[in-house]
């Protein structure tokens, strides 16, 4: 993609080789989606398959972006996926000779793409631009690029300038030979190293002296919990990382809402006022997550919160103070979801490493590893009695397991695409699943028989959960709506559609009177479950539009939220200081 092309002394260099792979090497690869939508070919994000013409597809998409300034398949996630599947790129502004070559390279079927290699494809493209298809031997020399462009005709303003040392320069000053310069280097190094100690002391003292979040709730208005990044939406230019359900939910008493965010934090909100009460992010001494938080859920007693993250860890937090209690480590890839057992004694996790883990919630020790899925597991949940676990996977199946022995009891097959969530009914007799195939299915938890199929959404269904009394089901979809359905008849009772889309996570309050939905656009909405009235909107963003931030909040933000950022800067400065001391000693 364009962001990975670097202009260096007149040559284009490729950066970020995270997807590089030797042809003929093992087919093992990252089990989740990784890449940039619109530039990654369909076989990579649909089948997790890399082919020799994968790079040609990405090269052609990048060419369209650089030549036209527009995204090759549009800006809307749904439009991008649809156009990629149909092989219908946006080629407005390109010359007629370029179009056939680009259409061939962007064909959704890798077998129909040019197989002679990217170099041959580029040469054919240059021939079309320079001589209408004449060969290099017969045709005139290609014209020089117009001012303001590279030799390939790409506007130079598209690529960011890179500041480098003048080529060929060898007359660097030998300042080490100067006693004065060595003395200065030693002094600067010692000063920078001292910043490390000062930073640690300041941040540690500020954290220990901080009051509980409920005493300072009004000061959290400008906190760093900035995005409610939920399943099912993929804006252009971001990594394709479809998120699981469990991104938001009520506390057991219904007074608070917990949300998970891509900014590496989880947020706790007042369910009545929408006020932010707490941000779970760790501190200088006890680190929080180091990558996006993909799931957050309360324990049955409401005293703890468990979060799952792309960093491959699960963290248990004190729900009142925000203190990190323990970290669960053991998965070999992203952890998509985490949930407590009904008695609060265990935690079940779902991961991209194709396994689900059962953990002791008190000690953090893993009790069991559930193996059986052939692709990423998006969600995992206990049955109401805690004796079974249901998992949902990209392999288009859901599996019911014995929670004690890890034995596979039943495989639910019927969906035609990835299943993103699965959960039990309150009585444990049924299971509801949500799938990319635009449907939700209710299953008999004992026999595995499909009982009811909910059809009505026009795009992927990202989550589905029963109401506390089991009489209704709420679904969240990337078509921009949440649907409320009769769990017995399958009739849709109402559609919740607000100003935010798409809707990617939904959950009932413990009394069943409210529903909370979350969206990629940094908002969560609380609805009346009976009449569909919008009750409350949580603006999950860094700064609330039009709101003045109190001075106390500014001070809290600078001491707490930015503490780790400044600490990181000072730490880097300290490392540089060590280098200065070493150089000065030479």
191-247 per-position pLDDT tens digit: 767 766 666 665 554 444 333 333 332 222 333 333 333 333 333 333 333 344 456
Residue with tokens 């001494």: 285
Q: How far apart are alpha carbons 251 and 319 in whole angstroms?
A: 10
Mean pLDDT of 496-506: 75
Q: Sorting pLDDT into bands at 50, 70 and 90, what band is 517?
A: confident
User: Treating both helix axes as pointing N-terminal to C-terminal, what angle do 54-68 and 118-131 enclose, rounded to 10 degrees?
Assistant: 30
Residue 515: its H or E element: strand 514-519
**pLDDT for residue 166 is more than 50:** no
Q: Sorting pLDDT into bands at 50, 70 and 90, what band is 10?
A: low
Mean pLDDT of 391-415: 96
Residue 68: its H or E element: helix 54-68
Secondary structure class of 306 (helix, strand, coil): strand
Q: Given this model, what pLDDT does residue 312 score?
A: 94
CA proximity to 278, closest of 346, 324, 247, 232: 324
Higher pLDDT, 536 or 243: 536
Higher pLDDT, 310 or 128: 310
Q: Given this model, what pLDDT does residue 43 score?
A: 83
Mean pLDDT of 559-581: 58
> How many residues belong to the chain?
586
Q: Which CATH superfamily is domain 2-158 in?
A: Transferase(Phosphotransferase) domain 1 (1.10.510.10)
From first CA to last CA, the distance across the chain in angstroms is 44
Q: Sorting pLDDT into bands at 50, 70 and 90, what band is 136?
A: very low
**pLDDT for residue 549 is more than 80:** no
CB of 577 within 8 A of CB of 188? yes
Secondary structure class of 192 (helix, strand, coil): helix
Q: Sorting pLDDT into bands at 50, 70 and 90, what band is 504?
A: confident
**Is the peptide bond preceding residue 502 cis, with omega within 30 degrees of 0?**
yes
Q: Given this model, what pLDDT does residue 224 score?
A: 33
Higher pLDDT, 371 or 202: 371
**pLDDT for residue 61 is more than 80:** yes
Q: Given this model, what pLDDT does residue 138 score?
A: 37
**pLDDT for residue 351 is more than 90:** yes
Q: Identify the bridge partners of residue 484 per DSSP, sorted by sequence position.
A: 474, 494
Mean pLDDT comparison of 122-131, 401-410, 490-499, highest-scoring range: 401-410
CB of 430 within 8 A of CB of 414? no
- Total-model pTM: 0.56
- Tokens coding 172: 């660097």
Residue 294: its H or E element: strand 293-298
Average pLDDT of every residue of the chain: 76
Q: In terms of C-beta density within 10 A (0-12 exposed, 13-18 middle, 19 or more buried), how is residue 114 classed? A: middle
Q: How far apart are alpha carbons 254 and 362 in whole angstroms?
A: 24
CA proximity to 293, closest of 339, 340, 244, 238: 244
Residue 370: its H or E element: strand 366-371
- Tokens coding 449: 């028989």
Q: How far apart are alpha carbons 274 and 268 in whole angstroms?
A: 10
Q: Into which CATH architecture does domain 223-542 fall?
A: 7 Propeller (2.130)
Q: Given this model, what pLDDT does residue 227 score?
A: 32
Q: Sorting pLDDT into bands at 50, 70 and 90, what band is 76?
A: confident
Q: Given this model, what pLDDT does residue 571 score?
A: 62
Q: How many CB atoms lie within 10 A of CB 396?
A: 19
Q: How far apart are alpha carbons 380 and 439 in whole angstroms?
A: 19
**pLDDT for residue 125 is more than 50:** yes
Q: Given this model, what pLDDT does residue 26 score?
A: 39
Secondary structure class of 495 (helix, strand, coil): strand
417-469 per-position pLDDT tens digit: 999 999 999 999 999 999 999 999 999 999 999 999 999 999 999 999 999 99
């Amino acid at each position: 993609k364009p962001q990975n092309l670097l202009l260096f002394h007149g040559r284009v260099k490729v950066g970020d080789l995270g997807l590089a792979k030797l042809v003929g090497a093992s087919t093992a690869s990252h089990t989740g989606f990784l890449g940039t939508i619109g530039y990654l070919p369909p076989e990579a994000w649909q089948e997790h398959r890399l082919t020799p013409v994968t790079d040609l597809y990405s090269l052609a998409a990048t060419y369209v972006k650089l030549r036209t300034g527009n995204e090759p398949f549009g800006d809307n996630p749904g439009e991008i996926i649809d156009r990629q599947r149909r092989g219908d790129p946006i080629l407005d502004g390109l010359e007629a000779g370029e179009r056939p070559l680009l259409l061939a390279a962007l064909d959704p079927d890798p077998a129909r793409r040019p197989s002679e290699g990217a170099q041959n494809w580029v040469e054919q493209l240059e021939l079309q631009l320079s001589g209408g298809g004449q060969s290099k031997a017969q045709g005139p020399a290609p014209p020089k690029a117009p001012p303001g462009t590279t030799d390939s005709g790409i506007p130079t303003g598209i690529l960011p300038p890179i500041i480098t040392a003048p080529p060929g320069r060898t007359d660097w000053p030998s300042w080490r030979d100067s006693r004065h310069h060595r003395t200065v280097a030693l002094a600067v190094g010692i000063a920078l190293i001292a910043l490390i100690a000062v930073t640690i002391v300041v941040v540690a003292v500020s954290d220990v002296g901080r009051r509980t979040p409920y005493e300072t709730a009004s000061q959290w208005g400008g906190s760093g919990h900035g995005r409610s990044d939920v399943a099912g939406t993929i804006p252009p230019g971001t990594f394709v990382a479809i998120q699981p359900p469990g991104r938001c939910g009520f506390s057991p008493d219904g007074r608070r809402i917990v949300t998970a965010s891509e900014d590496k934090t989880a947020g706790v909100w007042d369910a009545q006022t929408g006020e932010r009460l707490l941000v779970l992010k760790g501190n200088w001494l006890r680190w929080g997550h180091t990558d996006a938080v993909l799931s957050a859920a309360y324990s049955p007693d409401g005293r703890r919160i468990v979060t799952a993250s792309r960093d491959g860890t699960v963290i248990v937090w004190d729900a009142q103070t925000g203190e990190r209690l323990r970290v669960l480590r053991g998965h070999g890839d992203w952890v998509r979801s985490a949930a407590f057992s009904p008695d609060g004694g265990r935690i079940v996790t779902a991961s991209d490493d194709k396994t689900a883990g059962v953990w002791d919630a008190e000690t953090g020790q893993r009790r069991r590893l559930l193996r059986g899925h052939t692709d990423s597991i998006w969600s995992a949940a206990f049955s109401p009695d805690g004796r079974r676990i249901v998992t949902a996977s990209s392999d288009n199946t859901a599996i019911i397991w014995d929670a004690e022995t890890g034995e596979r009891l039943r495989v639910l097959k019927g969906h035609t695409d990835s299943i993103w969530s699965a959960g039990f009914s309150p009585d444990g007799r049924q299971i509801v699943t949500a799938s990319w195939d635009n449907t939700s299915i209710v299953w008999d938890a004992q026999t595995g028989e499909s009982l009811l199929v909910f059809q009505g959404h026009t795009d992927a269904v990202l989550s589905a959960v029963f109401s506390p009394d089991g009489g209704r089901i709420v679904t969240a979809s990337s078509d921009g709506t949440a649907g409320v359905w009769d769990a017995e008849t399958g009739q849709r009772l109402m559609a919740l559609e607000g100003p935010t889309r798409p809707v990617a996570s939904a959950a009932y309050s413990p009394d069943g009177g409210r529903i909370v939905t979350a969206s990629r656009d940094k908002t969560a909405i609380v609805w009346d479950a009976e009449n569909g009235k919008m009750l409350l909107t949580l603006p999950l963003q860094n700064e609330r539009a039009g709101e003045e931030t109190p001075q106390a909040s500014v001070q809290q933000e600078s001491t707490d939220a930015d503490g780790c950022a400044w600490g990181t800067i000072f730490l880097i400065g300290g490392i540089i200081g060590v280098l200065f001391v070493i150089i000065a000693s030479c």
